Structure 1
Amino acid sequence: MSIEGFMATWRELAIEAGMQLFKASGVHRLAAPFTSGLGAILMFHRVRPDRGEAFAPNAGLEITPQFLDALLTHLAARGYDLLSLDAALDLLRGREAPARPFVVLTFDDGYRDLVEHALPVLERRRAPFAAYVTCGFADQTARLWWLEMEEALRRLSRVEVVVAGRRIVRACATAQEKREAFSYIYWAIRDGAEEQLLDVVARLAGEAGVDSHVLTADACLDWSGIAALARHELATIGAHSVTHARLAKLDAAEARREMADSRDFIEQKTGAAPKHFCYPVGDPTSAGAREFALATELGFESAVTTRPGMIFPEHRDYLHALPRLSVNGKHQSLAALDILLSGAPFAVMNRGRRVAA
C-alpha cells in the first residue's frame, strides 16, 4: 500500500477511535461552547435507499433518505437554522454573532438521486441547499472513475494492474477480497497523476465490460435536469469543475480552465453564472493555496473544500477555503452528527486552529 493509503487507513482508525471516545465520555458536550463556532457546512454526495450489498466500497458517500429526514428533524430540534449558502455568507461577513447556530446543506457532483430521493425530503422540510455540478458528468464526457472501479471489481474475480511501473495482482472473488482490492488499488492510484488514475481504471473497466458513459448517464443528472433544478426556489447551483480532476495535480493553466469553463458552461445551460465553487476531492493534496487564489481571481464568492472543520468568524477572510463536515454513510447516526457539530474532533485534529487553510 502507498504511504498515502497507509496514512488514510491510519486516519480512519484514529477517527473511529476518537468517535468512540467522545461517545463514551461525552466530553464533546463540554467543549462545544468553545469549539462549535457559528455553525457548519454539511457535505453530502448520494442520497438513496440502502441496497444491502456486501461489496459497497463507496458507501461512505451515501446516506438514505430516511437518515436525511431524521437529520433535518434533529437539527431543528437542536435549534439550528438551515440557511442557504448565500445567507450564511452574508451572516459570516457581518460583525455580529448569530442568535442561533446555522447549517448549510451541500450536495456534490450532480447525482440523479438528489432529485429523486433527497429533494422530496428537502421540500418537505423547506430546507435550502447548494448543488455543486460537474459539467462533464452532465454531458457524459467525464468519468465517475470511483464508480467505474467499483463496478469493475464487482464483476471480476481477479485483478491485475500496473501503477507507476508496479504490478499489482489481487484476488477478487469474495466480497472481502473485493473490498481489500478496491482499497489497495484506490490508494495506489490516488498517489499519482490524474492521467495515470484514469488509465488504470479505464483498463479495469474495459476488462470487466463496464461502459463508463452508461454508468454516468444512469448516475447523474443531464443538463435538462440541472436546468430544472436551478429553477427550484430552494436550490443554489455551484460549479464543481468540468471533469472532476484533482486540480492541484494539474498545471496552473489547466486548473484555471477547469474552474472557469465549468462556470461558463453552467451559465450557458441554466442562464445564470454560478457564484460558488467546490474543489473536486477537496483535500490538501487536491486543492491548496494556488486553487484558493484561482477561485478568488475568477470571481467566485466562495469555494468549499473537504477539509473538516466548523465555521468561525475568522473564515470571513478565507471564503475560498471553507471547511465542511462530511455526513459519512459509514456513520449514519444522530449521535455521530452531534459529536461532529460540537466541533471538538476538529479542534483536536487542527490542533486548536480555527482556520486550517
Structure 2
Amino acid sequence: MAADPCRPDGRGEWLRFAPVQPLFRARAAQRLAVLAYHGVTDPRSFGAQLDRLRRLATPVSLDAVQQAVTERRPLPPRSVLVTFDDADRSVLTHALPALNDRGIPAAAFVISELIGTERPFWWHEADFLARHGGRARSLDCGHPSQLLRRLKAMPDPDRRRSLHELRVSADRRPPRQEQLTPADLLALRAGGVAIGNHTQGHPCLGRCDDVTVRAEITGAHEALTHWLGEPPVAFAYPDGGHDPRAEAVLQELGYRLGFLSDHRLGPRLPHHPLQISRLQVDSTTSTRRFDTILSGLEPAYRRWRGHAVA
C-alpha cells in the first residue's frame, strides 16, 4: 500500500516540493486560513509554526474577522486566524506566552462545564476507563481502538449512559486533569486570546435532540457571559460538524461567527459567517507539512484520497 503523505510521521513532507505547491500557495493568498489546534504539547514546534506564520501570512484576530463580516469588507491577503478547541491548560501555559512573544492574536473555544474543575475530557476518561476494566452494554463488541468512534456515533442519551456504565464498572478512576479557571479565561482575554463558546459538555450535536442542542449552547453562553462580563460572539461546533439547529440558536443569541473543522480554506470574506472553515493542525506538525496545510495542498490531497476529517 502506498505511503500516506498526510500522516504526521514525516512521510508526507514531500508534498512541500510538489510542482503544484506554488500554485496552491498563490491561491491561498486570496483565502482565509483558520487554524484549529487543541492543546500545545510541543512548545518548540509550536513556536516554529508561529514564526512561519509571521513570515508567510498575516495573523488576524477574531475581532478582525467579525469586523470584516460586519462591514462586508474582505480581510487582507494571506490572513490567518489561530484558534484552539477545548482550551486545556496548555493554551494558557504554552500557547499564550508564544503568541504574546510574537504579537499574534488567537481565540480559544471553551467547554464551560469543565471550567474550574479537575475533570478530564470525556473522551480521555472513556479511553482510560475502558483500559482499566470498564464495560458498557453498548460497547461490549469491537476493537478498543473504535471506542471513541462508537461513542460519538451514539444518540447522546446512549453515550451518557455508556459513560456512566464505564465509570461504575472500571477498576480505577481516571487521573484528575486541572482545567482552566474563570480567572484564567480573563487572563487569556487580556493577553489577546478571545474566548468563545464550545458548548457545556462537548456532545456530538448531530446526535442530540433539539432540547439538548439548545441547552448545551445556552448553558455555556450564560456561564461565559457571567465569567467574562460580556456575551461571547463566536462558537466552534463540537467535532467540527455544522448543525442547522445549533446555527438557529446561535442566531437567536446574537453570535456573529461560527467555526467548523472541515480542513478547508475559506474566502477572505466569509460567505456564511456561522459556517467558517478551519484547517486542522497540531503543535507537533513539522514546518514543512505545516506549509502544505497552510497552502491548502495537504487538505486537497486528503480529500482526493478520500480521507475522513475527524
**What's the TM-score once normalised by structure 1's chain length?**
0.74
Structure-2 separation of matches of 1:349 and 1:93: 33
Q: Does 1:228 align with 2:187?
A: yes
Q: Which residue of 1 aligns with 2:198?
A: 240
Q: Which residue of 1 aligns with 2:208?
A: 250
Letter in 2 for 1:105: V
Structure-2 separation of matches of 1:161 and 1:13: 34
Structure-2 separation of matches of 1:239 and 1:44: 15
Q: Which residue of 2 aligns with 1:259?
A: 217
Structure-1 separation of matches of 2:79 and 2:268: 13
Q: Does the aligned pair in 2 maintain the 1:108–1:132 contact within 8 Å? A: yes
Q: Secondary structure at 2:99's aligned position in 1? A: helix
Q: Which residue of 2 aligns with 1:319?
A: 273
Q: Does 1:145 align with 2:98?
A: no
Structure-2 separation of matches of 1:33 and 1:323: 19
Match of 2:38 among 36, 45, 68: 45
Q: Secondary structure at 2:238's aligned position in 1? A: coil
Gaps of 5+ in 2: 305-310
Q: Does 1:190 align with 2:159?
A: no
Residues 225 and 149 from structure 1, CA distance in 2 versus in 1: closer, same or farther, beyond 3 angstroms?
same
Q: Which residue of 2 aligns with 1:301?
A: 256
Residues 239 and 250 from structure 1, CA distance in 2 versus in 1: closer, same or farther, beyond 3 angstroms?
same
Q: Secondary structure at 2:261's aligned position in 1? A: coil
Q: Which residue of 2 aligns with 1:208?
A: 171
Q: Does the aligned pair in 2 maintain the 1:81–1:102 contact within 8 Å? A: yes
Q: Does the aligned pair in 2 maintain the 1:304–1:323 contact within 8 Å? A: yes
Aligned 1:1-357 pairs, distance under 5 A: 15-16=6-7, 19=12, 22-23=15-16, 25-35=18-28, 37-48=30-41, 64-78=42-56, 80-91=57-68, 98-140=75-117, 144-153=121-130, 156=132, 160-163=135-138, 167-168=140-141, 181=144, 183-206=145-168, 207-211=170-174, 215=176, 218-230=177-189, 232-283=190-241, 287-313=242-268, 315=270, 317-328=271-282, 332-347=285-300
Q: Secondary structure at 1:256's aligned position in 2? A: helix
Q: Secondary structure at 1:108's aligned position in 2? A: strand
1:222 shift after superposition: 2.0
1:159 shift after superposition: 6.2
Q: Does the aligned pair in 2 maintain the 1:145–1:198 contact within 8 Å? A: no
Q: Does the aligned pair in 2 maintain the 1:134–1:239 contact within 8 Å? A: yes
Letter in 1 for 2:18: S
Structure-2 separation of matches of 1:303 and 1:43: 13
How much identity, in percent, do the aligned residues show? 23
Q: Does the aligned pair in 1 maintain the 2:197–2:232 contact within 8 Å? A: yes
Letter in 2 for 1:127: I
Residues 70 and 200 from structure 1, CA distance in 2 versus in 1: closer, same or farther, beyond 3 angstroms?
same
1:255 shift after superposition: 0.7
Letter in 1 for 2:154: G
1:322 shift after superposition: 0.8
Please list the CA deviations of residues 217-254 of structure 1 after superposition, one character each: whole Å capped at 9, or x if unmatched. Answer: x3411223223333x14121111111111112112232
1:348 shift after superposition: 5.7
Residues 116 and 20 from structure 1, CA distance in 2 versus in 1: closer, same or farther, beyond 3 angstroms?
closer
Q: Secondary structure at 1:208's aligned position in 2? A: coil
Q: Which residue of 2 aligns with 1:56?
A: none
Gaps of 5+ in 1: 1-11, 49-63, 171-180, 352-357
Structure-2 separation of matches of 1:296 and 1:19: 40
Q: Which residue of 1 aligns with 2:307?
A: none
Please list the CA deviations of residues 105-130 of structure 1 after superposition, one character each: whole Å capped at 9, or x if unmatched. Answer: 11122311211121111111121111
